[in-house]
Each structure stands twice: as C-alpha cells, then as structure tokens.
Amino acid sequence: MEKRLLGLTGIKITPILMGTWQAGKSMWVGIEDAETTRAIRAAFEAGITTIDTAEIYGDGHSERMIAQALADVRSRAVYATKVFPTHLKYQQVLDACERSLKNLRTDYIDLYQIHWPAGAFKTEVVPIEETMSALNDLKEQGKIRAIGVSNFLRGQLEEAAKYGRIDSLQPPYSLFWRYVEADTLPYCIEQNISILAYSPLAQGLLTGKFGPGHQLQPGDHRVNNKLFKGENYRRVQQALAKLRPIAERLHTSLSNLALAWLIAQPQTSAIAGARNAEQAVQNAQATEVSLSAEDLAELDAISCMVTHHLDENPVMWDWPEGPLLIH
C-alpha cells in the first residue's frame, strides 16, 4: 500500500487508517476483545499500518488492545491517539500522554491529537496556548512525534497553529458528511495539514447494511446520529440506491467505493473501523479501486442528495445533555 506523508513531518501514513473506537467497547454492542485484536492484526498484515485510537475509548481499553495486537511489530506501525478535553491543562496533558504510552506499551506516540476543543461537552475552557505548550514539550522530549487536532473548526485550528505546528486535522468526513470542505479543507491544503477523516462510512450507512426501517439495538450510539433520523435517513436510502450500480460497475463494494472517493480528495486519508478481520482486509482493498474524473463527479452529485439538506451544525450527533463517552 503506497504511503503518504503526514503534514510536514517525515512520518509516512497509509491512505486507510485502522480506526479503533469500537475496540474500547463503550457505546458499542457485540464487541469481543479477541475479535478486536484479530481485526487490528489483520489490518496491519493487509498493509494498514497506521492505527488511530484515543484515551477515552473505553478508558484506555482500545489503546491496550492495540498493544496486544501489535506490540511485536511496533516499529513498523504508526500510532495516533488523542487526549480528551477534560485533560487539557499543562500537567493533565503530560499525565494523559504517560497513560497512553503505558497503555500502548511504547515509548513514543507518532501523532498525539487534541480530541475536541476545550469547552466541548461542558468541560473547562483551557487556553489553547497552555495545551500547545504541553504538546510542544512532549514533542521536544521525543514522547510524541507530531501534533494534531480533532473536531476543530477553521478558526480554532488557526488559533492552535499560532502556538506550534499542527500536522493533522481529524474531522467527520464522508460522502454523506462534508462540512469540512466549506472552509477548513482549503486552509489545510494551504498549510500542508493532513486530513484524517473519521466516520468515512457515515457510521456504517455507506456499507448499505442499514436498510429502510432498520432498528438499531439498545445501547448503539448511532441512535443520536442525525443521518439515521427521519428525512435524512430516507435521503440516505435514495442515495444508496444510486451508488449501488456504480459499485457493481467497478466490481467493488459500497464501502470501498465510499472509501476510494474519500482518499481521492486532497490530502485526505480515511479512518475505517472494523469489527472483525474480514472487514479489516476489505477496507485495505479500497486502495485498489480506481475512480475516473467522471466517476468522482457522479459520486459528488449523488452525495449532494444528502448533504444539501443537512442543517448548519457540523456535529454529527444530537447527543443528550452531558455525554462524555464520545468520538
């Protein structure tokens, strides 16, 4: 799998990253540790050597599963993890990093990211200058190799960049969720900031496995996802009906069609999760899908059937008050 540079660093990442929110188990149903570790290892063996996680995913459980799966090949993997907005004061950042290093069983983290801006989910508003000071010190100490942010809008990204080099932005981004393109993506292109797109399959919608009338299981976090609700969900089904013939013509799956479109966007790689080894291997095959300019234009037009009807709020979920276990 051909790799890409992360921002202005010398770190090489894969166009598809292994996402491990589900490995933390919290807010997911039917996740088993043994299957998780097999999936992570299968992704690595299939060429997906960049792994994304976060301290909040099962309170470190996801990080520990990555270590269990990849400790013997750590030097050939790229680890990206995140610090939660409850830990953005200077010493809290340092302490959180130490916990993640221990969980991951490593002495360095390739990419360390601010998960959400300070103040998100009623957390304390910590000046970005303080958080960046801690991240810069960790970088100088060699405990982290690069700094990234997640769920930041353009203004927040520009403010963070005043205090240190930002090499990646992790936003929700897919054929059905394209807010980042409005003004943040152009800034990232200008500044050579890599886009690491999460929810590239719109939390499973772009797999096609959720049909009309599908009922989510109790405890599934997707009950709060705007795309799974009302008119949005009906438009999603209409768009999927138009995407299926394209996938069939290109001899690929709906999932890999969506991933191929995403990694064809400027400076964009896709973070794709997998519940099992088979899904992980299938995700890797998305890099083999070749899309022409005409294909991309057709996919753009179909995408607009959904995206043009969404509200102006770039957060994908209608969460109840005070959630903390989130992406």
Catalytic member of 57, 173, 198, 233 = 57
Do the Cβ atoms of 167 and 141 come closer than 8 Å? no
Where in the chain are the domains? 4-307
What pLDDT does 215 receive? 78
- pLDDT the model gives residue 326: 41
Under the banding of pLDDT at 50, 70 and 90, the label for residue 268 is very high
Q: What is the mean pLDDT of the chain?
A: 93
Q: 254-257: long-range contacts at Cβ-Cβ below 8 A with a sequence spacing of 24 or more?
A: 254/206, 254/207, 254/208, 255/201, 255/206, 255/207, 255/208, 255/282, 255/283, 255/286, 256/282, 256/283, 256/285, 256/286, 256/289, 257/289, 257/299
pLDDT tens-place string over residues 276-298: 999 999 999 999 999 999 999 99
Active site residue 173: no
To the question of pTM greater than 0.75 for the whole model, the response is yes
CATH superfamily entry for domain 4-307: NADP-dependent oxidoreductase domain (3.20.20.100)
What's the confidence (pLDDT) of residue 28?
65
Residues 42-75: tens digit of each pLDDT = 999 999 999 999 999 999 999 999 999 999 999 9
What's the pLDDT score for residue 29? Answer: 62
Nearest-angstrom CA–CA distance, 176 and 111: 27
Each residue of 194-220: pLDDT tens digit? 999 999 999 999 999 998 878 777 777
Neighbours of 183 (CB within 10 A): 11
Residue 325 pLDDT > 50 = no
What pLDDT digit, counting tens, does each position of 164-180 carry? Answer: 999 999 999 999 999 99
User: How much is the average pLDDT of 265-281?
Assistant: 95
Strands 12-13 and 144-150: unpaired
The pLDDT value recorded for residue 31 is: 75
CA 283/CA 101 separation, integer angstroms: 27
